[in-house]
Chain A
Amino acid sequence: MSGRAESAYVSPRRIGAMMLRYWYLLRSSWPRLLDLVYWPTVQMVTWGFLQYYIATNAGFFARAGGTFIGAVLLWDILFRGQLGFSISFLEEMWSRNIGNLMMSPLRPIEFIAALMVMSLVRLSIGAVPVTFLAIGFFGFNLYGLGFALVAFFFNLMLTSWAIGIFVSGLILRNGMGAENLAWSIMFLFMPLTCVYYPVTTLPVWLQPVAWLLPPTYVFEGMRTLLIQKVYRGDLMLDALALNAVLFAAGLFGFLKLLQSARRHGSLMQTGE
């Protein structure tokens, strides 16, 4: 297919080009690969021992099905999914390559698609080995959640992408001054999405806010499954509906921020 006609529509070849670019980058740098595995492992081991301690000193609730390790692993999917997206994007800013991309035939939607796939790749490299370590160290088999894990994973990834897309837009518009958001924004959601405790723990006035966030449904669903052995499909459907809204809002925000960056000339001023 000739390049002359190719830029008229969304092109798998351009998406592939960006994926190849990030793959070359990962391959060329062992510290980058190590970083993908190191922190999820530390998290899982720390929380695993805490779970073990509580299980041997507390009652039924704490022992029920490894809710802490499960929460840590699912939280890591959410956090690492967003970070994987944002770091790939930040690589372009750090290397002052964003101008090259914005002036190439690469469309924003193709760029975003490549970043989404790369967040999956990075997550797989970082999180999959850790799930096997969880089996070895603490006897917690995440894959034992079966189909529910697919629903949890899909919903968490959608949320992580929506946040990653929006944060990337903020960085495009505001430059590297907004970089810290990429590293920290997910922690804003941590207390509200009730990763380690039920929603009922929150003050009554805060609970409706928690229920506006899709991951809340996932973590509640996980606890229900592990403690009561009940899969709540209704919670996953609610999460999916909220994620659809969140993803559309993230995409809309990104495009508006990109438009604003063009208006303000920010795309020429990005860099390390």
Chain B
Amino acid sequence: MCAMPDFPPIAVERLVKIYKTIPAVDGISFTLTPGSITGLLGGNGAGKTTTIATIMGLTTPTSGRVTVLGAEMPRQRYRVLHRMNFESPYVEVPMRLTVRQNMTVFGMLYGVGDLRGRIVELGRQLDLTDLLDRPTGRLSSGQKTRVSLAKALINNPDVLLLDEPTASLDPDTADWVRAHLERYCRERHATVLLASHNMAEVERLCERVIIMKRGRIEDDDTPAKLLARYGRRTLEEVFLDVARGSGVESEAAQ
């Protein structure tokens, strides 16, 4: 199901999040268009995870406003949570339950119709069919990631938030996951916000990149324009320029 045209899938306006006295996010604003895949880049402590947690309604903004599909987060989160989902290394699906049991529980939580059919479908799409009746904790790291992805897609979300979806995966599995995400977004016209340290992944998947540093947005553009502006060949080089403060602003100052 597509997002309502009147409401952007995600709109962040002057978002500030301060933990005690430390600003984790410091006045950022951006709006995502329906069906887009946007990368959220930044070093450790840049504010990516806090931004995603605030969008999911898991943390309350200190000030500013976040809306998802028109619902203000976290106040109106129950209007839209069934149309969203996420995957993050900070959470896990229960390890003692089998893959099928986990999918059943999360499918029921998200109000999925024809749940059995959906589990079979996801099993086929994510190559989990033979693993459905095995305890999740006994799977390999790559298989567990596929299970997490299945959980994130169980409700066919319109808005998908991914925090390091391919971290700790071997290159083959990571590539496989990326291909699946691309296909899902194309077919469902879903909007994705992807936080990652993997620049190749961002370059491949994202049509827009937001670079954060110390809680602020340092740059925000398409990968091609960022490469051109910084005079670099890869996003990794752009990222290093921004992280080390040797970007276009520094050059302009010189």
Q: Which residue of B lies closest to A3 (CB)?
A: B111
Q: Which residue of B lies closest to A263 (CB)?
A: B60
Answer yes or no: B91 CB below 8 A from chain A CBs.
yes
Interface size class of B (residues with CB under 8 A): 35 or more
Interchain CB contact under 8 A, A24 and B101: yes
Interchain CB contact under 8 A, B74 and A262: yes
Q: How far is the CB of B111 from chain A (nearest CB, A)?
A: 3
0/1 per residue, A110-132, Cβ < 8 Å to B? Answer: 00000000000000000000000
Interchain CB contact under 8 A, B53 and A268: yes
Q: How far is the CB of A105 from chain B (nearest CB, A)?
A: 4
A14 and B58 in contact, given A7-B82, A264-B19 (Cβ under 8 angstroms): no
Interface residue total, chain A, C-beta cutoff 8 A: 41
A11 and B58 in contact, given A20-B104, A99-B90 (Cβ under 8 angstroms): no
Residue in A21, A25, A97, A264 whose beta carbon sits within 8 Å of that of B91 in the complex: A97
Interface-forming stretch among B92-100, B122-130, B201-209, B244-252?
B92-100
Interchain CB contact under 8 A, A24 and B105: yes
Residues of chain B from 57 to 115 with CB closer than 8 A to chain A in the complex = 57-60, 74, 78-79, 81-84, 86, 88, 90-98, 101, 104-106, 108-113
Residues of chain B from 29 to 44 with CB closer than 8 A to chain A in the complex = none
Answer yes or no: B50 CB below 8 A from chain A CBs.
yes
Q: Is the interface of A mostly helix, strand, loop or mixed?
A: helix
Q: Could you show 17 A-B contacts with beta carbons less than 8 Å apart?
A: A2-B111, A2-B113, A3-B155, A6-B82, A14-B109, A24-B105, A28-B96, A95-B92, A95-B96, A96-B90, A99-B58, A103-B56, A104-B109, A105-B81, A106-B109, A262-B58, A268-B90
- A: residues with CB less than 8 A from B are 1-4, 6-8, 11, 13-14, 16-18, 20-21, 24-25, 28-29, 91, 95-107, 259, 262-265, 267-268, 271
Please give me the 8 A-B residue pairs with the lowest Cβ-Cβ distance, nearest first: A3-B111, A17-B108, A99-B91, A6-B111, A105-B81, A21-B105, A7-B82, A96-B92
